[in-house]
Structure 1
Amino acid sequence: MRFHAGLTDEPDWADVDAASWAAATSEARCLELGAAPAAVAIDETIGKLRQTFDDTILVGGPPCQAYSLVGRARSRGKADYVPEEDHRHYLFREYIRVLDRLRPAAFVMENVKGMLSSTVESRLVFEMLMEDLAALGAGHGHQYELRAIRVSDGKATLQEATRPSDFIVRSEEFGVAQRRHRVIIVGLRSDLAARAAGANVPVSGTPRTVAETIGNMPPCAAASVERPTAPQRGNGR
């Protein structure tokens, strides 16, 4: 509590809980996507996964800074900014590279809604992404069938998309007390896609307030924290 209040230095987490800290540091990696060290580490991990598991599911997505509305506005404010020279626009291809090597049974790719309208090289980034996803698996025997998550009649199902906006998932339709909209693409390897036909998950479909979501939780006990005393003002003499 005192550390979070800024009253003490950060503790040595390895001393606090050595086992948990070791597990956390082995799982969380500080790597720059697109850089050579990251590619080597990712490929090593993929190799181990393929040796241990026949099928996997990949969940994640490329960094969103180049696609988000806020990120694009900041970039436009730079006088010498050239979109084609910003490697972040092309980081979705790192996700494609991982998919091509891992060949998971299914993948879930997430990004900000701004990805649908982001452009580079006079082309929509989303169109480039969809072309790469559609070609994924060519020569490997199985490609991927792309699905959008749709909510209807109190159920969430996987459906074929007819337009890019079909891939937008609205969190409030799933009982989340927040209007957070994201682009989510579900890919099913063609040799397994038929198994997902008719799959559905019941959802409320009704927006909920924060009070409805966590209003029944007990109040947090007030913690007494010593706060530094503000310096006294002098009388000017």
Structure 2
Amino acid sequence: MRQYNIVDLFAGCGGLLDGFLQTGKYNEIASVEWMKPQVNTLIHRLETKWDVKDAKERVLHFDMQREEELFHGWNDDEKYGSNKGLDYYVNKAGNIDIIIGGPPCQAYSLAGRVRDDNNMRSDYRNYLFERYLSVVERYQPKVFVFENVPGMLSSMPDGTPITDLIREGFHSIGYDIVDDIKKYALLNVSDYGVPQNRKRVILVGVNKNYYSNSHEILKNFYDNILTKQKIEKKTTLFEAIGDLPPCIPIFEEKARTKKLSHIAPLCEVSWHKPRYHNLRDMKIFQMLAEDIQSGKCEFTDSKKLSELYEKEVGSKSPIHRYHVLRPDVPGTTIIAHLYKDGLRYIHYDPNQARSITVREAARIQSFDDDFDFKGTQGHAYQMIGNAVPPKFAESLGHAIDELMVSITEEVVTA
């Protein structure tokens, strides 16, 4: 079976790459990521799951803004060590068929803009897509896959829509993306079996050197090829995490410690241990979960939840903090901010009075239970929230394979 050579940029812990590899149709040539816990996690996954012997070399721990070194290699860097650079691995492979990845999304996210006084306009991450573009221009893959948050559709850091800058940038180096991004490229991963309502922009770009009718091919990809990967019945939160054993809350002051608020179950699954919660929050969690379970639903609108937060905490918040996950529908979007607090990810079982564990967050993001995360609990929450759900990525990988076949057939025919 033909395997396509891929490079993964802004790889994170490898959710997008993992899904592509699960199809059996792709060969990872190199990955680039600058955050160390994510790098360690990706290396571990490649070594243990995919038997990549030289993962420590092929996963480049580096800052993509340092382009010359990224391509040609660097030595004895205080933070990033040494590596031969992307050119070495690409030349060794012979060619790159596909480049995948998504620049950091914080500058585009609506939540980030709410929290930032300058609406994220001065954030350098607005333009990290240019680094992605540089790699595409250098290696000229047949196809690229660019993933980001829906907020990019309305982001205008310099007064120009960021989507226009991205489209024009790729067009200038010989690639087309679909004209109407919101119509075609805004997808909900719950349609592809992920137990979570998570909308993402998936830009697929095609190299115009390989075919002339690029826009027709792209529309066919979104309308027909990718659509075939959708499922009939969405996966619920309970189906994703309902079989995990409960965590027992500790309400007695004498039994609690500064780091222990729950008794974690003994189970074979890693990372199923709640974060520490104070008694105030635990009682609120229990009350809110009981409110929904009983059917009273007195605290289900954002205004009531904001009022409750202000009353209990003594301060206002630009977004409502409390939210109980519903077991009978896909979960709410897991975000990286989960590493700071879990008030918007309260477990639906009032008897547990807690927010979700790392493993539950991972399952809601469709990570397999054998996917291990390296680093602290906070690191794990953060990398899960930033990741592309592997199950969706697997569907995307199958669809890209079909697109690649159609490209090959067109080139042969021509």
| TM-score bin, normalised by smaller chain | 0.5 to 0.7
* From 24, 34, 50, the counterpart of 2:65: 34
1:103 maps to 2:140: yes
* Aligned AA (2:66): A
Task: Give the deviation of 1:91 after TM superposition.
Answer: 0.8
Larger Rg: 1
The answer on 1:176 being equivalent to 2:194 is yes
Aligned to 1:119, what secondary structure does the other structure show? coil
Q: Say if 1:63 and 1:88, in contact at 8 Å, map to a contact too.
A: yes
Note the C-alpha offset of 1:112: 1.0
- CA change 1:50–1:202 in 2 (3 A) is same
Pairs within 5 Å for 1:85-104: 86-104=123-141
What is the CA–CA distance in structure 1 between the aligned matches of 2:236 and 2:120, rounded to whole Å? 42
Is 2:238 the counterpart of 1:211? yes
- Aligned counterpart, 2:105: 64
Could you say what secondary structure the match of 1:59 adopts? strand
**AA aligned opposite 1:168:** L
> Percent identity among equivalent residues?
28
Tell me the equivalent position of 1:145: 176
Match of 1:166 in 2: 184
Larger strand proportion of the pair: 1
The aligned amino acid for 2:166 is: L
Task: Report Cα offsets for 1:157-211 as digits up to 9, x if no partner.
Answer: xxxx435343111011111110011111011223156888664533214322023
Greater shift, 183-192 or 199-208, is seen at: 199-208
For residues 231 and 120 of structure 2, what CA distance do their matches in structure 1 show?
44
Alignment partner, residue 127 of structure 1: 164
Counterpart-to-counterpart distance in 1, 2:176 and 2:141: 12
Using the TM superposition, give the Cα deviation of residue 59 of structure 1 relative to its aligned residue in structure 2, in angstroms: 0.8
Once the two structures are superposed, what CA deviation does each residue of 1:39-84 show, in whole Å capped at 9, x if it has no partner?
A: 544993145314523441111021112111232233326xxx9834
Whole-Å separation in 1 of the counterparts to 2:241 and 2:109: 29
The corresponding residue for 1:222 is 266
Aligned to 2:113, the other structure's residue is in SS state helix
Question: Normalising by structure 1, what TM-score?
Answer: 0.63
> Structure 2, unaligned stretches of length 5 or more?
1-39, 74-82, 247-264, 269-414
Of 229, 248, 259 in structure 2, the residue corresponding to residue 202 of structure 1 is 229
TM-score normalised per structure 2: 0.38
d(CA) in 1 for partners of 2:110, 2:96: 36
Q: Helix, strand or coil for the counterpart of 1:83?
A: coil
| Bigger share in helix | 2
- SS of the equivalent of 1:204 reads coil
Equivalent of residue 52 in structure 1, options 93, 96, 99: 93
* Aligned 8 A contact 2:70 2:85 in 1: no
**Alpha-carbon distance in structure 1 between the residues aligned to 2:241 and 2:205:** 33
| CA RMSD, Structure 1 to Structure 2 (Å) | 3.7
Q: Corresponding residue for 1:113? A: 150
Deviations 1:2-56 (A, max 9, x none): xxxxxxxxxxx9xxx9x94974432333222213544544993145314523441
Contact 1:33 1:39 (C-alpha < 8 Å) held by counterparts: no
Mark the CA change 1:218 to 1:122 in structure 2 (over 3 Å): closer, same or farther: closer
The reply to whether residue 186 of structure 1 matches residue 217 of structure 2 is no
